[in-house]
Amino acid sequence: MNQETLSPSPVSPRRYYPLVELVAARVREFYREPEAIFWVYGFPILMTVALGLAFANKPITQIDVVIATGPGDSEAERLLKAHDDPRFQVRILPADKARERLRTGKTELVLVPDATGSGFTFLYDPARAESMMARFAVHEVLQGPPRVPTHDEHMTERGSRYIDFLIPGLLGLSLMGGGMWGVGFVTVDMRIRMLLKRLLATPMKKRDFLLGLMLSRLLFMIPEVLLILLFAWLAFGVEVRGSVAALALIIVLGAFTFAGIGLLVASRAKTIETVSGLMNLVMLPMWLLSGIFFSSERFPEFLQPLIKVLPLTPLIDALRATMLEGTPLFALWPQLLVLALYGVVSFAIALKIFRWQ
């Protein structure tokens, strides 16, 4: 037998494709990061669920109309309800309360009866798309028969625009993000760099260290908040109707509250990935439910008790009440009590379970 025939054939080496290997390595790395998976797949679903709950029972075609008390208010209510149109949610309120609901974003349109009761004035904010839609929908109904005379009045004075509604929400968002990230992230970063371990060898008390972190964050928040308020005033004419001192106290209390929550979240976390995931988990419900960009009243009734106890909700409610309505501080004691409880309890628990390393 030929020797050549008996010798084994050389095995071809496995071909190496750098591009394929690099892509496969990145895919494996991605799926080993729970935080990345959540933000890519989970967060869009949660956002869809939250906005679906906010608008599913109040879709874009459903219109909240408030009729100011006056001659012909019952007739206007009868005309809108006579069509049996499910789009309209109609209620009659005193004129000041009707304007208040429009100013705070809780209704789209106010229908003001004329002195004679024969016609109506549409009061709405032309900068809000839902207000424009409500105006045209109600106008179509009132054109009869019988045809009802109507007039337009734009609510554009300071304090009644969407930007006035939005700025307190952005202030609350800034206080939450600054307190959580500015305290929680810094604490874990110091733990990773072994700075906390070095501080453990000093005679400093844990209480002093944690209070120092919180108070330093409060100092950093002052220029940040002032910058937002100053820019809103210069660029958009946003004003504070209530006491500036009351607004300052609410801001300090809000900063204290979220600094305490940030400390609690970071008290045991040992990696940036862990603290980032925990903070996003804590903040996500407040981003979606607490009424930063639109009124939290849009969510279903069964969610309202949960929304009211989220710490960002009373903070934004207190900021809006002070800035938009001029509500005195003593009338905001329920919101302030919730914020204070969150801050004190969070700090007390963080003080108890905090680890230096």
Tell me: pLDDT of 336 over 90.
yes
pLDDT of residue 59: 46
Name the more confident of 156 and 218: 218
> What is the count of structural domains for the chain?
2
User: Per the structure block, which two tokens stand in for 195?
Assistant: 């700075």
Structure tokens at 219: 């100092």
**Does residue 246 sit in the same domain as residue 340?**
yes
Report the SS3 class of residue 71.
Answer: coil
**CA–CA separation, 212 vs 209, rounded Å?**
5
Whether 169 and 266 map to the same domain: the answer is yes
Q: What is the pLDDT of residues 42-94, one digit of tens each?
A: 666 766 766 666 555 554 456 788 888 877 778 777 777 776 666 777 888 88
Q: Is 26 domain-assigned?
A: no
Residue 197 lies in a domain: yes
Given this model, what pLDDT does residue 84 score? 64
131 and 240 belong to one structural domain: no
User: Domain residues for 99?
Assistant: 63-154
With cut-offs at 50, 70 and 90, classify the pLDDT of residue 250.
very high
Q: 44 in a domain, yes or no? A: no
Question: What's the whole-number average pLDDT of the chain?
Answer: 78
CA-CA distance, 249 to 256, in Å (whole number)?
11
For the chain, the distance separating the N- and C-terminal CA atoms, rounded to the nearest angstrom, is: 74
Same domain, 231 and 302: yes
Rg (CA), the chain: 28
End of a domain among 154, 188, 222?
A: 154
pLDDT value for 44: 67
Q: Which strands make up the sheet holding 88-93, listed edge to edge?
A: 88-93, 63-68, 109-113, 120-124, 150-154
Region label for 41, one of left (φ > 0), alpha (ψ between -120 and 50) or beta (otherwise): alpha
pLDDT given at position 60? 45
Q: To the nearest whole percent, how much of the chain has pLDDT over 90? A: 10
d(CA 333, CA 263): 25
Question: Is 168 found in the same domain as 130?
Answer: no
Does residue 231 have a pLDDT over 80?
yes
pLDDT tens per residue, range 116-166: 767 788 888 777 777 788 888 888 777 766 677 777 777 765 556 778 888
Percentage helix, strand, coil for the chain under 3-state DSSP, each rounded to 5: 65, 10, 25
Question: Is it the case that residue 98 has pLDDT exceeding 70?
Answer: yes
Asked if 115 and 177 sit in the same domain, the reply is no
Residue 120 shares a structural domain with residue 193: no
Supply the DSSP symbol for 13.
Answer: P
% of the chain with per-residue pLDDT over 70 = 80
User: Would the pLDDT of 180 be above 60?
Assistant: yes
Q: What is the pTM of this model?
A: 0.67
CATH, residue 107: 3.40.190
Contacts for 214 with CB less than 8 Å, ≥ 6 apart = 183, 256, 259, 260, 263, 347
Q: Which bin fits 121, alpha (ψ -120 to 50), beta or left (φ > 0)?
A: beta
Residue-wise over 280-290: b if at least 16 C-beta within 10 A, else e? Answer: eebbbbbbbbb
